[in-house]
Amino acid sequence: MSILDRLLWRRPHACPPGACFAFDNFLRKAIQNPRKILAPFALEGKTVLDIGPGKGYFTIPLARMVGDAGRVVAADIQPAMLKALAKRARRAGVSERIRIHLSREDGLGVPKAADFALMFWMAHEVPDKGRLFREIKAILKPEGRILLVEPRIHVTGREFEETVALAEEAGFAVHDRPAIRLSRAVVLGVDSSRS
């Protein structure tokens, strides 16, 4: 591993809860506004899977966007993150719309069908991305979408395209490449030609 990779944390790791202050703050909304980013996907009454939600930067807005008839499943492997998210959801008045789910390191374990899955700045932390994409494919409804977003500072263009290729191997196709500040992003859907 090069010195640059070490300085930029370009290695598999789970983001520690204490580091969330750096990206769960009001300044980030000016750069990455959850409503603007998620508006095409988080529709009223839909079920959303937020994978690796941290302390809920996107989860809370998602819960507001899906409304009373919708649900957000927040799946993470870190109990401390989920505990903080649950507390924030209660304070925001949306806890009844959010299902907190503690996943295992070797699988999400989420049985419910989802309309949309969000993977924001977390895929680089997953050792077996191919397995994760196969599991998401089994969870998503046939018309479902994934928004995969990775941080430019941690994930090189080559690494991002390798992750997209793993998603394609799992049965997804690229539908769009939205511009999201400080990030590399792609919208994936089930490849109907392979179903």
Q: Which domains does the chain have, with CATH numbers?
A: 39-194 (3.40.50.150)
Amino acid 112: pLDDT: 75
Distance (Å, rounded) from C-alpha 168 to C-alpha 145?
Answer: 13
* Rama region for 9: left / alpha / beta (φ>0; ψ in -120 to 50; rest): left
CB 74 within 8 A of CB 102: no
Residues 6+ apart with CB under 8 A from 81: 17, 20, 53, 54, 55
Residue 100 β-bridge partners: 74
Render each residue's pLDDT in the chain as its tens digit; 195 residues.
Answer: 454 444 444 445 555 545 444 556 677 677 999 999 999 999 999 999 999 999 999 999 999 999 999 999 999 999 999 999 999 999 999 999 999 999 998 899 997 799 999 999 999 999 999 999 999 999 999 999 999 999 999 899 999 999 999 999 999 999 999 999 999 999 999 987 765
pTM higher than 0.85 for the full model? yes
Amino acid 114: pLDDT: 96
